[in-house]
Structure 1
Amino acid sequence: MEPLGGSHANGMQQLNPPPPSNNTVTVRMVDTTSVMKLHAEAFLKPVMPGHEIMTVIDLAFLIENPRLGKKAMFDLGTRKDYWNSPPWTIARIEAAIPGVRIEKDVTEILQEKGMKLSEINDIIWSHSHWDHIGSPYLFPPSTNLCYGKGTGPFPGYPANPNSALNQADFEGRKCIEIDYDMEIGPYPAHDFYGDGSLHLLDTPGHWPGHMCALARTTPDTFLFLGGDICHFAGDFRPSEQLPLPDSIPEEAFGNIEAAAVKRAHKTPGWMAPMRPQTRRHAILQIIDTQTLFL
């Protein structure tokens, strides 16, 4: 990621960047050994013949603050025994996921690498979907469980038969709903360690309670952990830097607009006029995500 200083400093100041800090974290990507087959039409159209099914993996991230001696997991991937998820979750997996293969739980991966589960001080859920929450109940009670505002419903299953969450994941440990007390860019934010090394951003468009993480890896560079804020690079294109080529006719924009209206629940004021903006502005810059769950 490009440093915030240098020739871009004035522009970045206008974007309301994180406050300066010399405190950093290290971030390690964890392959959770989860492989899922998904219906391509849920993510993009038109679907090319022969590519009706997408194969995707599931990632988690180990974050370490060396100054404080603290470790956190940002997401846990999918629990190995996903068939023991609440009925609400199982019904949706069976309806939407043609195939799932999981070789190991994240707890097993950490332990195989020589790490004790008691070394993990915090679990941070980007959001409470089944392929991100993993198995917190396998961690010791000393590990806190952190999540964004809007996460729920509580209590979890089986106390609440309609909940997608397992009550066992919350029992016997400190559960923390993140309180956003600052802003980074346009987003409510929270300084997780209180030293500027890791910020959590309130980004609830994908699912209630969704958070992204902004991890400071050097004093002026960051790693952005997006959770499920984006499933497809086309969500962020076109842009001023990468506009649609002139070879794409204006008539195609009408198809984009029609498809967006067909697939989404529209409320008053939900969508600005799209046709004149589409060549240089990504769809997510036009749609009001506060009233639309992508």
Structure 2
Amino acid sequence: MVVIPKSSNTVEVSIIDTGTRMGGIPAAIFTNPQIPGFTTFEGISYVFLISHTDSEGKVRRVLFDLGTRKDWENMAPHVVQETKSVEGAFLEPVENVVDILERGEVDKSSIEALIWSHAHVDHVGDPSTFPSSATLIVGPGVKDKYFPGYPTKPDAPVLETDFANREVQQLDYSSTPLSIGGLPALDYFGDDSFYLLDAPGHALGHLVGLARTTPDTFILFTADVYHHPGQIRPTANSPLPDQIQVPNLIPCPLPGRLVSDMNPAKSSSAPILQPGDVSSDMNAALHTINAIRGFDDEENVFLVAAHDRSLSEVVQTFPLLANQWREKKWKERTKWLFLQDFQEALNIVALATSQG
């Protein structure tokens, strides 16, 4: 059970679909073991606008992640080369997040902080499109290793212009007394409405965000802790049901036992997939994803991974708010949609069963 401090203080959350599409990426990069038919990863790109209003009516806004900058080929050459080296893969941003905000009548000068979940090309965006008044917040070690950015630091995956003329705050969890769900936490606004959690493993200084959407409901921005929901579901506390309604999947309803037989673990209560080789620290990645599974088991926490395209069939995005996700049953409606990716594997299992 995940214990979160009680509070009546909340933030408003908008899930922003940046329009970026990515795909053709070998699934083995992000997930293990391999599932027949699930050979490539296809994703989108979510970032989050968090708005906080205090007792005096003052509004503060922060962004969690910035997605991919539309001119990403102007990133550090080694980042561009590495991204393009994945045969068959594509990364197609449409616009910068600042353009989406201003089209939605959110003044970019009202953003007090830009939070990087981690310093990968599809998350850092282009901070230079925001005024220098916006602080850049990064996880442990990121500023130490990458500042002041490329080209002064040739091996940095981020640019000098990302850091230039703005405060860069590197979070330090070494003395925080707060832990939520097994992850060290910092209370951003100081009133238990929004937390930044230390979630290492995928990349240096990886962070996740936990936003209180009502006094007793939350959205967890998981960034790249997992790339596919099959890496966090099912679990012992949230096993496969006997029958699963998954639109556009045959058969429907889908027998849970069929999914269990397809699961490499041959289980109805163990995740279908594990983290892939992309993790910078596999032991840390396994610890973090296990903690995140605990959050997913909670009925009052809705998880949104940065690239989870299965959610797009259900969730409402910016400029709409996501705070009423529980009333709209987003968690129940999206929980097993990821199984659509495994139609071929399910067909193989169904055929073997019928012949057995």
- Which TM-score band (shorter chain)? 0.7 to 0.9
Label 1:284 to 1:63 Cα distance change in 2 as closer, same or farther (>3 A).
Answer: closer
Partner of 1:20 in structure 2? 6
Mean CA deviation greater in 94-103 or 64-73: 94-103
The 3-state SS of whatever aligns with 2:80 is helix
For residues 154 and 148 of structure 1, the distance between their equivalents in structure 2, rounded to whole angstroms, comes to 13
Offset of 1:284 from its aligned partner? Answer: 5.0
What percentage of residue pairs aligned between the two structures are identical? 35
Local SS of the residue matching 2:184 = strand
| Aligned equivalent of 1:115 | 106
Residue of 35, 56, 62 corresponding to 1:72: 62
Where does structure 1 lack aligned partners over 5 or more consecutive residues? 1-11, 272-281, 287-294
| 1:48, distance to aligned residue in structure 2 (A) | 3.8
Alignment match of 1:165 (pick from 158, 167, 171): 158
The Cα offsets for residues 200-258 of structure 1, whole Å up to 9 and x where unpaired, read as 00001111100111101111111111011111222223421316977767xx659xxxx
Instruction: Give the number of aligned pairs.
Output: 256
Q: Which of 1 and 2 has higher RCO (CA within 8 Å, sep 6+)?
A: 2
Query: CA offsets per residue over residues 141-165 of structure 1, 9 Å max, x none?
Result: 1111001102132231010111101
CA RMSD in angstroms comes to: 3.3
What TM-score results when the alignment is normalised by the length of structure 1?
0.77
Helix, strand or coil for the counterpart of 2:45?
A: strand
Q: In structure 1, the residue corresponding to 2:95 is in which secondary structure? A: coil
Residue identity opposite 2:67 in structure 1: G
1:29 maps onto 2:29 in alignment = no
Structure 2 partner of 1:274: none
Structure-to-structure mapping, 1:272-283, within 5 angstroms: none
Deviation at 1:174, TM superposition (A): 1.1
SS of the residue corresponding to residue 137 of structure 1 reads helix
Give CA deviations for 1:42-92 in whole Å, capped at 9, x if unaligned.
23443545x543321111111100224100110010000000001221121
Whether the 8 Å CA contact 1:144–1:175 is kept in 2: the answer is yes
Q: Give, in whole Å, the separation in 2 of the partners of 1:120 and 1:153.
A: 23
TM-score (norm 2): 0.64
What is the correspondence of 1:202-217 to structure 2 with a 5 Å cutoff? 202-217=198-213
Do the aligned partners of residues 157 and 66 (structure 1) sit closer, same or farther apart at CA in structure 2, a change above 3 Å counting?
same
- Are the counterparts in 2 of residues 236 and 283 from structure 1 also a CA contact under 8 Å? no
Aligned counterparts of 2:278 and 2:19: Cα–Cα separation in 1: 33
Distance in 2 of aligned mates of 1:111 and 1:237: 37
* Secondary structure, aligned partner of 1:169: helix
CA distance in 2, matches of 1:88, 1:246: 46
Consecutive unaligned residues of structure 2, counting only runs of 5 or more, are: 242-255, 267-272, 292-356
The alignment status of 1:135 with 2:126, answered yes or no, reads yes
Q: Distance in 2 between matches of 1:48 and 1:128?
A: 32
1:56 aligns with one of 38, 43, 49:
43
Deviation at 1:95, TM superposition (A): 1.4
Residue 149 (str. 1) matches residue 146 (str. 2)? no
| Superposition deviation, residue 193 in structure 1 | 0.6
Q: State the Cα distance separating 1:283 from its structure 2 match.
A: 11
Q: Please tell me the residue identity of whatever aligns with 1:34.
A: T
Shift of 1:263: 5.6
Contact 1:41 1:47 in 2 (8 A): no
- Separation in 1 of the partners of 2:104 and 2:52? 18
1:178 is the counterpart of 2:174:
no
Deviates more, 1:95-104 or 1:29-38: 95-104
Pairing 1:92–2:78 present: no
Note if contact 1:235-1:283 (Cα within 8 Å) is conserved in structure 2: no
